[in-house]
Copies of this chain bind each other. A is one copy, B any other.
Amino acid sequence: MAEGLRERKKRRTRQYISDVATGLFVERGFDAVTVAEVAEAADVSVNTVYNYFPAKEDLFLDRSSGVVDRLARWVRGRDEGEPAARAVLRELRGEVEAVSPRVGLFSGYAAFMRVVEQAPALRSRLWAIGQEVQANLEAALREETGAGDGDPLPQLMAGQIGWAHSTVMAVIGREMAKGRNPREVSREALDLLDDIEDLLSEKVLNYAVRGAA
């Protein structure tokens, strides 16, 4: 049974603080809520808040939700004979088609995105997370293709794939923030995905085929 009570309690406390904070932010906006208020509402000290979250932004954008390695995971899990970009597009299309909350396609996402849109600090943080996603993708591509350190291709490919991904996510976020219907946004995102695939060159779309020299 190993790590029991302590770990469980920590996880619960962390989650609780984050939930309370999210509620306040959605209700009154990111800047209008102070960390002290979050602490009070969650019935802990300010120090405890900082004990769990390195910065105020982390109360809202919890990086631990397995988003940072999404693209890398999709690439590593691509089918035999499938190139990296195709795999990412396929997985992304799948999520969008399924109107999955993992890509923001659920009604509650509107409130979430509105908070982000009005807080520069959160937008900036979202970008930083995107950078991490891309760095992980680049690492995955290097491993998968066995590219040397001097090879600039993994970086460029990760840039193109990361761009496609973040562009789709940005549009979904923007439209959802307007209060649009998830299904409608899903349909538009699928069209956008087609447009994007059309824009990517064959070089990009055929890079890192699983099972090549």
Instruction: Using CB atoms and an 8 Å cutoff, list the residues of chain A in contact with chain B.
Output: 120, 124, 127-128, 152-153, 155-157, 159-160, 163, 167, 171, 192, 195-196, 198-204
Contacts of A198 in B (CB 8 A): 203
Please tell me if the beta carbons of B124 and A196 are within 8 angstroms of each other in the complex: no
State how many angstroms separate the Cβ of A127 from the closest Cβ of chain B: 5
A145 to B49, CA, bound (A): 51
Please tell me if the beta carbons of B124 and A195 are within 8 angstroms of each other in the complex: no
A204 to B171, CA, bound (A): 20
With A152-B171, A156-B196 given, name 4 new contacts (CB 8 A): A159-B167, A163-B163, A199-B201, A201-B201
Contacts of A200 in B (CB 8 A): 201
Contacts of A202 in B (CB 8 A): 201
Contacts of A167 in B (CB 8 A): 155-156, 159
Please tell me if the beta carbons of A204 and B199 are within 8 angstroms of each other in the complex: yes
Contacts of A120 in B (CB 8 A): 128
Contacts of A171 in B (CB 8 A): 152
A171 to B150, CA, bound (A): 13
Please tell me if the beta carbons of A203 and B192 are within 8 angstroms of each other in the complex: no
Contacts of A128 in B (CB 8 A): 120, 124
Contacts of A160 in B (CB 8 A): 163, 199
A156 to B202, CA, bound (A): 17
A128 to B159, CA, bound (A): 18
Please tell me if the beta carbons of B203 and A156 are within 8 angstroms of each other in the complex: no
Please tell me if the beta carbons of A152 and B192 are within 8 angstroms of each other in the complex: yes
Using CB atoms, name the residue of chain B closest to A130: B127
State how many angstroms separate the Cβ of A100 from the closest Cβ of chain B: 22
State how many angstroms separate the Cβ of A133 from the closest Cβ of chain B: 14
Please tell me if the beta carbons of A159 and B163 are within 8 angstroms of each other in the complex: yes
A124 to B167, CA, bound (A): 18
Using CB atoms, name the residue of chain B closest to A123: B128
Please tell me if the beta carbons of B201 and A153 are within 8 angstroms of each other in the complex: no
